[in-house]
Amino acid sequence: MARMWRQLSSLRRGRALFLLHFILYLPSGAHPGEKKAQVPTPEQFQVVRGNFTRPFLRIGYHKITEIPGGARNISIQEAKKSRNYLALLTKAGMSIINGNWLIDRPGMLTAVGTQLTYLRPNEIRARSGESITAPGPLSEDLHLYVRKRFSPRCLDLRLQPPSLCLLADLSAAGGQCLL
């Protein structure tokens, strides 16, 4: 509790706080590297949650997490509007959304074996932030970045990974990991 209070109070001193909230739906009995299209029943899912925070970031691209190949039902949502941008790159570094210092138009695109929907609301009137969704499964790993320009940001990431590869990262720190 004291640690959380220090993080929140650091905002008053001008530090930016990045928060990434994971809710991972893991089929029980999932095997690493499994990419077969099986639709488990709701009883077969194991829910894993974790908060990811990072203190002050400089202007530029900052890696948030890797989304494993085979992941399904991907939903990345900025909790509130900011002047920063979400970016997706392949493992090889090829830009899919907002990479290479270019800002892409919102819309639908096909990449890594699935159809991605990138939404960026009206920058003047909207209160909600950017979002990226994909039904999956992904044909390869993706890297999620934030292109930092200004204010703090909060992200909510939901996906169904094909394996337990992210489970070890979350459970190692009791559900809370600092990036």
pLDDT along the chain (179 residues), means of 10: 43 41 47 51 48 66 84 78 88 94 94 94 78 88 86 61 44 34
pTM above 0.85, yes or no: no
Strand partners, 76: 132, 157
Neighbours of 67 (CB within 10 A): 24
pLDDT of residue 7: 45
In the chain, the domains with their CATH numbers are 2-34+41-178 (2.60.120)
- Per DSSP (E only), the strands in 16-168 are 18-27, 45-54, 60-67, 72-78, 85-90, 95-97, 107-111, 114-119, 131-134, 142-148, 153-160
Kindly report the CA angle at 81 between 75 and 82, in degrees rounded to 5?
110
CA–CA separation, 140 and 69 (whole Å): 4
Residue 128, pLDDT score: 80
